[in-house]
Amino acid sequence: MSNKFVVSISAFLFLVIFSCHKNHKSYEPHLKMLEQYISGDLLDGIALMDSIEFLGKNKKKISLGPMMRLLALTNNPTIAQALLNALGDIGEKETVPAIIEYAERKPPLIRLQAIDAARRLPSKLSAEWLLVLAYGHDDEMVQIEAKRALEDVESFLKANNEL
């Protein structure tokens, strides 16, 4: 092996490791941001949205409790949509009751986001809720999306012998 090759490989590995370290973000500041917003100590909605997105995309299960508390407390539809998306991204079925509870009192746009989250969290409870929406909701778009999501959830449950 030539010395030039070894130096090239070493330089490449250094760049890869450096770029991974440089782009790595810890989840703690993002989790703290959620807690500060819940307690009323933080009013920066943009920073909150960034934190919600980061925690969801990185599937940080430790953020589920604060996210569900914030979902129950918020009246801001933009924050709610971000939370529903993040909860769906994290993918823990334990969040389905909180998603259903929140969506039950909300307009169709929020329900559509909740339907998408339920689709990504297939469980018997999400299937039951989607069935109710598919055949009992007043909004036609909610019915259509609930039927589509219900098909996906039922397919997943059948494939995994959960139905």
H-run or E-run covering 92: none
**Separation of alpha carbons 102 and 10, rounded Å:** 52
The per-residue pLDDT for 9 is 54
Query: Is residue 50 classed exposed, middle or buried when 0-12, 13-18 and 19+ CB atoms within 10 A define those classes?
Result: middle
The ranges assigned to domains in the chain are 25-90, 91-163
Task: Assess contact for 64 and 56: CB atoms under 8 A.
Answer: no
Q: Which CATH architecture has domain 91-163?
A: Alpha Horseshoe (1.25)
The per-residue pLDDT for 24 is 46
Q: pLDDT per residue over 109-147, tens digit each?
A: 889 999 999 999 999 999 999 999 999 999 999 999 999
Instruction: Give the tokens for residue 29.
Output: 């500041």
Q: pLDDT per residue over 3-52, tens digit each?
A: 555 444 544 444 444 444 434 458 888 888 888 888 887 667 788 888 89
151 by DSSP, 3-state: which? helix
Q: Which of 61, 31, 63, 60 is nearest to 48 (CA)?
A: 31
The per-residue pLDDT for 11 is 44
The per-residue pLDDT for 13 is 47
- How does residue 86 score in pLDDT terms, banded at 50, 70 and 90? very high
The per-residue pLDDT for 25 is 59
The per-residue pLDDT for 7 is 42
